[in-house]
Amino acid sequence: MKGDFLTLALPSGRMMEETLEFLQQNEFKFQNKPSNRELTFFDDENRIKFYIVRNQDVPLVVLHGGADAGICGRDIILEHNYNLSIPLALPFGYCRLSLAVPESINEKEFFNKIHIRVVTKYPNLSRNYFYQKGINVEIIKLHGSIEVGPLLGISDCIVDLVSTGRTLRENGLKEIDKIIESQALLVVNPSSFYTRNKILLKLIHIFKNKKLKTK
């Protein structure tokens, strides 16, 4: 019977591969490794049921009780300030939220602007960043490849996650400031932390001080 399993929401997309690799290296044994279409799979030995959802949706699924815990990026938590327990940072998913502008832009002149238009998926973090610098900012939120903002002339810059910087370079952009650093976090529903404390502490113990072994 699956009803007494701990439920754990995992991020799809680019963090999925690292997440599964980390779990497999640290005592988890999947009954069936998920395919592109499957949204659930199990670890019968550790009595965990996994759900695959978008990285951005993991905190919401956990917050509303759809899962006891989840793994998502620190950037998502900081952007929305979700009321979740965060017992652990995990050793993968490293990236940074950065400000990038066209390569032809002079950095000093850019920060002297009175008004800046920015395309981003992170309106709250972007707004706070520019307000702290005393710059009036117009936020344009896009959901796809935001590098198109400066290319189409609808923004002066972008704020986005960066790992290697390759995508920026391929689109004629350069980083000029790092806003935050991000990595994977274990997030837990506060009620589950109380009602399922024993099994969650076991999960935390398994994760603690573990490293993702690179090939």
pLDDT, tens only, 81-118:
999 999 999 999 999 999 999 999 999 999 999 899 99
With a CB cutoff of 8 Å and minimum separation 6, the contacts of 197 are none
What confidence category does residue 29 fall into, taking pLDDT thresholds of 50, 70 and 90?
A: confident
Calculate Rg over the CA atoms of the chain: 19
Q: Are 62 and 84 in contact (CB under 8 A)?
A: yes
Question: Would you state the pLDDT for residue 206?
Answer: 83
pLDDT at 65 over 90: yes
Q: Taking Cα atoms as reference points, which of 173, 75, 90, 84 lies closest to residue 121?
A: 75
Distance CA 66, CA 203 (A): 18
Instruction: Check if 6-93+183-207 and 95-180 are the same fold.
Output: yes
Distance CA 14, CA 65 (A): 25
Say which amino acid occupies 1: M
Distance CA 108, CA 111 (A): 5
Start-to-end Cα distance in the chain: 36
Question: Would you state the pLDDT for residue 7?
Answer: 94
Tokens of 36: 């592109």
Question: Would you state the pLDDT for residue 2?
Answer: 47
pLDDT at 57 over 60: yes
Question: Would you state the pLDDT for residue 1?
Answer: 38
pLDDT at 35 over 90: no
What confidence category does residue 36 fall into, taking pLDDT thresholds of 50, 70 and 90?
A: low
Fold of 6-93+183-207: D-Maltodextrin-Binding Protein; domain 2 (3.40.190)
Q: Which CATH class is domain 95-180?
A: alpha beta
- Burial class of residue 130 (count of CB atoms within 10 Å of its CB; 0-12, 13-18, 19+): buried
Say which amino acid occupies 36: N
Q: Are 101 and 176 in contact (CB under 8 A)?
A: yes
pLDDT at 168 over 80: yes
Domains in the chain: boundaries? 6-93+183-207, 95-180
pLDDT, tens only, 110-167:
999 989 999 999 999 999 999 999 999 999 999 889 999 999 999 999 999 999 999 9
CB atoms within 10 A of CB 198: 8
Q: What is the mean pLDDT of the chain?
A: 90
What confidence category does residue 39 fall into, taking pLDDT thresholds of 50, 70 and 90?
A: confident
Lowest-pLDDT choice from 24-33, 82-91, 168-177, 183-192: 24-33
For the chain, percent helix, then strand, then coil, each to nearest 5?
35, 30, 35
Distance CA 63, CA 33 (A): 26
